[in-house]
Structure 1
Amino acid sequence: MNKIFLAFTVTFLLFFSGVVQALNLSDEAEISLLTCGPSKQVHALYGHSAIRVHDPIRMVDIVFNYGVFSFSEPNFVYRFAKGQTDYLLAAEKYENFLESYRRSQRRIEEQVLNLTQAKKQQLLDYLIWNAKPENREYRYNFFMDNCATRVRDVVEKHVDGELVFPEEAGLEMSFREHVDEYQRILPWINFGIHLTLGSPADENATAYQEMFLPDFLRNHFARAQIQGEGVSKPLVKETRMIYDPAKSVKSDFNLLSPVYVLSILLALVILVSYKQYKRKQFRLWVDYVLLFITGLIGLVLLWFVAYSEHPAMHPNYNLWWAVPANFLFPFLWMVRRWRPALKWYWKALSVWLLLFLLFSLLIPQAFPVGFYLLTGMVLCRALLHSFLLLNASHSAN
């Protein structure tokens, strides 16, 4: 949700804080929400939110950023998967922030907040305190605690009254549906993320919860009202487009997307299986590949369910079709003398996958089309083995 910082910008903050801590903002000071558009980089798919403090009289122009992290941290990928990623609040010069987003051709929109002078000062003081080394870290949670929700919470605590977000402004979409809108530009990444997201991701997000996405934070800020002592005023007093790159129109059609690729593979699996059934001869490499892939997926998902601290990872009903035992079975089936004792697995797998297809609509989790296509491939092979074993049994009788 942010650009990658290869070096901590906290150095700048520490240099700057000696001045800022003693600074009283002038009447010309503005505090704004900056909303940055998404990009095709995985970590920036959903856009970014930050807070700008601009005081032309005091020559202050800083961006406070809750999205700082580094891929170079030890065991970053493992910690991220396990849900133990720590993000930081840091500050940088506005001109540096602006230039980095211009280089990556990402939109920047500014909403100037309608705060009293006292609240502006309190908010700045809080941000400086929060950015100190002993206070700056927080445990990242994609849906509930990220760069956008942190901004929402900070602003909510520093308004002169109660900040009211109209609930009817929500789209009544699930968390999964929300992120899917952004992930579609990278179809295989989208496919993988949907694999790891469990049933909690299919709960509807309220208008308040939608603000985990920067664009929705911007939209709800635009509708929010500050209410206090019988008076109501808008949270945002002015909106400015800082940078708006030209948009390229692209079609969603992609022959290499999971749906098209897996549809072709399913058709080939059905064709090959039909020919092998007619000839009563078949090659096992198709079975080994399909069982290995779906079994490996199942093992990875099982790890997420058992060990990841991400609350949206479990329970995950993809384990119904991505059976972890499929990973081990091909290695056992390679031993010919074990096959008579293992042939029941094909029948059990057929029944299990048929039950999934029959009852998947009743499961409290959404399954993209690609998951059904993978299930269809494995089911086709399991049914082929079951029918051949059944025919062999009848022939023996």
Structure 2
Amino acid sequence: MKRLFLILFVFLGLLQSVQSQNIRLSDEAEISVLTCGASDLIHAIYGHTAIRVNDPVRHWDVVFNYGVFSFNAPNFVYRFAKGKTDYLLAPERYDSFYDGYVRNGRSVLEQVLNLTKEEKQLLLDFLIDNAKPENREYRYNFFHDNCATRVRDVIENQVEGAVLFASAGEGRTFRQHAEDYQKILPWTNFGIQLVLGSPSDRLASAYDEMFLPAYLYRQFAEATISHNGETRSLVKATNVIYQAEEVTVSWVTIYSPELILLLALLVVFWNSLRQIKSQRVRYGVDYLLLSIHGIIGLILLWFFIYSEHPAMKANYNQLWAVALNLPFVFLWMIKKWRPLFRWYWVVLSAWLLLFFPLSLFLPQQFIPGFYLLVAMLLCRSLLHSWFILKGNS
């Protein structure tokens, strides 16, 4: 707690210092883009981007960071889910910034920008103004307005002329790009894949890909500035400030959702076969699976209705995670009501069977774990349908 207060005190002190000065850069000043490696922390799995302003003559070395959570926003998790997450631009001493990333084992790469003295001054003046309390907050959008895209946009707008990037991307979707980083946390990836809707399956252009710091780094390395018929490289020097060990991740581990859900499916299938042979149905597994599907469906419905995240709209996972399964659980628990609702199992079987071929034509990617969840409930609904159609239930 003491460390947290110290960081906050230093941040507020530096912010006041920056805003109160009329800083004129010397001829030796440099402005660079810092690209920081990813980690296994949920908020850092995609990496990070920031702007460094270093003037050795003025003894002034500050990092402008667009990736700071707003201190004034209560209920952060709820606001994040709802799409009302406010981030802010915060200045930070370079040595403090560097020490934090080295301590967490995250690489720091620097691209020194090829700017004129006037462009450097314009860029610094903008950053100082943008860091003022009335300007520093912005509404975070994971794919289109984050720490990386803010850095790109600021630099584009402050140079004289046009910044030219690559004209073509890799031909991959937003979801596929994000998934490459999320695989370091398999269950986190499972949850994110669940709430991302079909907008995340749109192909990302080269410009769009810069929502990821590593892609911004690659694009800046090849970018040029065109002005009055002359062209110059955007980056004039690249420095490896700190190189951390690369973390290798396997898609399949003992903790991976796919492996655990596959084992669960085998258990459900074996349990269902035993009940068919004994001609006696037990409902414990049904209650569990219906509740899981129903709760997922209810969460996705909440995101669809209330969340402002564009990427969470039009989520076709609601086709298999049916929210109606949740009230059906409670209805099915009441023995005398079961004859009234038994045909729900038959309808559910037909619906889930239809999902498998239908999913191949939907504009959304479904990961294997989702099919395993569907197969588990389908196994149980087919069991009930078999008994119902035979007249045994």
TM-score, L = length of structure 1: 0.95
**CA distance in 2 between partners of 1:251 and 1:144 (Å):** 29
Residues 1:71 and 1:256: Cα distance change in structure 2 (over 3 Å): farther
| Residue in 2 that maps onto 1:278 | 277
| Residue in 1 that maps onto 2:188 | 189
| Residue in 2 that maps onto 1:61 | 61
**Secondary structure at 1:328 match in 2:** helix
**CA distance in 2 between partners of 1:295 and 1:253 (Å):** 27
Aligned 1:1-397 pairs, distance under 5 A: 7=8, 9-19=11-21, 21=22, 23-69=23-69, 73-168=73-168, 170-249=169-248, 251-392=250-391
Deviation, 1:85, is: 0.7
Moved more, 227-236 or 71-80: 71-80
| Structure 1 gap segments, 5+ residues each | none
Deviation, 1:14, is: 1.0
> Cα deviations across residues 227-256 of structure 1 (Å, max 9, x unaligned)?
111111110000000001233555443011
**Secondary structure at 1:282 match in 2:** coil
2:18/2:128 contact within 8 Å kept: no
Residues 1:78 and 1:379: Cα distance change in structure 2 (over 3 Å): same
**CA distance in 1 between partners of 2:70 and 2:370 (Å):** 33
Moved more, 241-250 or 322-331: 241-250
Q: Aligned-pair RMSD on alpha carbons?
A: 1.6
**Secondary structure at 1:154 match in 2:** helix
Moved more, 225-234 or 197-206: 225-234
Counterpart residue identity of residue 379, structure 1: L
1:144/1:209 contact within 8 Å kept: yes
1:226/1:232 contact within 8 Å kept: yes
Residues 1:269 and 1:72: Cα distance change in structure 2 (over 3 Å): farther
Identity of aligned residues (%): 56
2:70/2:86 contact within 8 Å kept: no
Deviation, 1:368, is: 0.2
**Secondary structure at 1:255 match in 2:** coil
1:47/1:214 contact within 8 Å kept: yes
1:36/1:49 contact within 8 Å kept: yes
**CA distance in 2 between partners of 1:372 and 1:246 (Å):** 35
Aligned pair count?
388
Counterpart residue identity of residue 64, structure 1: F
**Secondary structure at 2:261 match in 1:** helix
2:63/2:97 contact within 8 Å kept: yes
Moved more, 252-261 or 63-72: 63-72
Counterpart residue identity of residue 175, structure 2: R
2:70/2:88 contact within 8 Å kept: no
Deviation, 1:292, is: 0.4
2:184/2:249 contact within 8 Å kept: no
**Secondary structure at 1:167 match in 2:** coil
Residues 1:192 and 1:251: Cα distance change in structure 2 (over 3 Å): closer
> Cα deviations across residues 316-365 of structure 1 (Å, max 9, x unaligned)?
00000000011111110111111111011001100111111121010000
**Secondary structure at 1:92 match in 2:** strand
**CA distance in 1 between partners of 2:386 and 2:120 (Å):** 74
**Secondary structure at 1:363 match in 2:** coil
1:10/1:91 contact within 8 Å kept: no
**CA distance in 2 between partners of 1:116 and 1:164 (Å):** 17
**CA distance in 1 between partners of 2:72 and 2:158 (Å):** 35
**CA distance in 1 between partners of 2:118 and 2:224 (Å):** 18
TM-score, L = length of structure 2: 0.96
Counterpart residue identity of residue 8, structure 2: A
> Cα deviations across residues 54-90 of structure 1 (Å, max 9, x unaligned)?
0111111000000111588411111110000110001
Deviation, 1:48, is: 0.4
**CA distance in 1 between partners of 2:311 and 2:77 (Å):** 18
**Secondary structure at 2:366 match in 1:** coil
